[in-house]
Structure 1
Amino acid sequence: MTLSESSRPGSGVVAADHVSLRRNNLSVVLRHVRAAGSRSRARIAADTGLNKATVSSLVAELVDRGLLREGQAEAGALGRPGQLVELDGSGVCGVGAEINVDYLAVTALDLSGETVTERRVPLDVAHLDPAATLDQLAELIRESVTAVVGRGGQIAGVTLAVPGLVQSATGLLKLAPNLGWAEVPVVDEMRERLGSPAYPVRVDNEANLAALAAYSEIKAATEPDADQVQDIVLLTGAVGVGGGMVTGGHLLRGGHGFSGEVGHMPVAPAGGTCGCGRTGCWETVVGLTALLNKATDSDDPVRDPSLDVEQRLAEITQRAEGGSARTLKALADVGTWLGVGGAILVNILNPDVLVLGGYFAVLGPWLKEPLESAIRDRVIAPEGGGCRVVQSQLGFTAAVRGGAQISLDQVFLDPTLVGRDTAGVAQ
């Protein structure tokens, strides 16, 4: 039997297998410490099934790469206490950057999920061309990268969040009706503006990224059944409305990556014209523009798109708390319509949790009751199919946090992406 060229002695296959195996084992240890918290080397070995000598070597390398650090001695251990190791998030950061209809936002998170830098600026994106918007976003990203590198950190990657149909694999934004953008190669455009950086630049739908952040938020919650949640639907609202779905713990993207455009479900045939050109889309009755049209006059300052969205919502909140009949009626109406569309999603997907994000979360105290009532009336399964409605606490940071997490996840999958020298940018 003749050996193939790739399997002959000296071909490098065995060495390559060893490299792949070590990379996998580094990932196993790093992800285990992230999930389980501080652990001694002996405990990690017992939990993962790796032998102690291998774990000691892997931990030493992860410490050298700035991904783990030595902690305190193990408390309550019999005999000689083991040294705990814990996640060291400070040296590596992921950056999330969002383009939305009326603002730009950028956030950098370190490996432990702590915010290193964040910024959001109001901007009437819908009335700017893509080039001008991307110029301004690139400047915000450069500021964030400079802040990370200035504290001795590395950039694991930048993920762009956009409200539209995205081909993540090619970096192409196919269509964003509320922005008025179509066929924009946003990744290529951003890489050019950032000077072809060594770190990867990605793009994804903003609701998908927000759903990932919301799922992490739920799993980290203190509720007794939080660890049992596997299926969620996130509804995120601003001018447009998007949906992100996690099923079985994984993001549901659909056959071509275009899932989640729930704002364009035709729920109100007699409704207004949507930014996509169709009539009666869900976002025409539950989007922020719909609420403001119901709650305010055309010359009301709260409609000014140059005003930060949180300031606008703070004014609506103040009016609702003050008992404004018009504001309360508008909120009840939007909440009911939110339940009409939400019930369709619950009937189809039967999620454990329906998460309100974006402006829906901010105004949740007034939207939740009519939403839940509409769901109970329209979901065929008893008790709304067991789905509970919760308000995300992430506000308008969900999409950028999800984007930063996407970049950091690549480090957990392959820790060798981070150089042993933690000064500079990840290669």
Structure 2
Amino acid sequence: ARAEARAGVVPRGAADAIAAAAERLRPDLDELGNATTHVGYPIVGLVQALADACGPDHAHWVHWGATTQDIMDTATVLQVRDARALLRRQLIDLGVMVGGLVRTHRDTPMPGRTHGQHAVPTTFGCKAAGWLAELGRHLDRLDECAPRIQVAQLGGGAGTLASLGADGSTVRRLFAEELGLGTPVPWHSARDGLTEFALLVGLVGATLGKVAREIATLARTEIGEVEEGFLDGRGASSTMPQKRNPILAETITALARLAAHEAGGSYGWMQVDNERAMGEWHLEWDALPRVCIAASAALAHSARLLRELVVNREHMRANLALTGGAINAEAVMMRLAPQVGRQRAHEIVYAAAMLAHDSGSSFLSTLIADAEVRRHVGERELTGLLDASSYLGLAGEFCDQALAEWESRAATDGGLRRRPGSEHPEAVVA
């Protein structure tokens, strides 16, 4: 109404009366519910309630030229704008926390695992650097999508806004200006913006679920490299008194799957016939809030999980030794490769590793027993090659890169100005 008054379509007095009535309007929810059930949409009942609140002199100017979907979609966008801002703040806070893990454990060696088996050594900081980089990309995506999703809807009956005649363009521009939104072509049947947002939020949830599952795996009794912070009774079993279940990780995993499930259904929102949805639109009303709520809850639980996380360096060190140095088999192979060729080096080291595994001998002894190995590498050098801390590659450099990339966002975003690591206490290191 204010936009139409500025465009000279609606009298200023009527616009002021409508705006004032809208501010104080508290519709009877039972009546609104009954009207929604009867009509199928909430707007007709809401428009009637607003018109009644305006009084007879101004009631006929309410809802001038707009259609139900214009109001519903614009309201959804305003909620999405708030949700995006909240999720963004939560992402930033979590990133600062993860950055603390990267910084603290830049040089904390641990087994790298592929296919569930020991692969080569890495550092816990390098693992967390991967999480931090992923969170940073999600932050970028949320920023990049804003101009596409924070847009007003005002297209009238079928997207032509014929109801406002020659004033339509001006009213659309002023309407969006009042709300701080963009003004694209009417998008009654083009749901790609909201679908994009739902999928991006689902991506955030998927990352959090991955991190939670990783922590739950590393917290297994036989691994014990990390554990959730403990409070008396948290994660307790009703029948097994010794249990400390990773309850936060479990909760995050469930929320992540819920967000992904609801977001995946958003593709169905886009398959709209003609100029107005025939049922697909209704899916957004239920699914979009669920996606956002699940992801926001997962972010909140993830912040608590990582803030309280206990990192057990001694268990990491012990697990690195489980294979008797075989976790560094690649290091030996790459040392031999210049002398015998990469493929032959692989064959030699593979044979030594399999012999050590099957016979129970040490990997070092099976290497030394191989004459071809002895021709090129002495025992002292082999011993050094099998030291896990000597084969961390660029793990530290990747930690530094992840931190630098995250901190570089501070140049354009005041919300990132806290230094990563400032919110992660050293006391959680075992």
Coarse TM-score class (shorter-chain normalised)? under 0.3
Rg larger for: 2
Provide the TM-score with structure 1 as the length reference. Answer: 0.22
Provide the TM-score with structure 2 as the length reference. Answer: 0.22
Structure number with higher helix proportion:
2
Structure number with higher strand proportion:
1
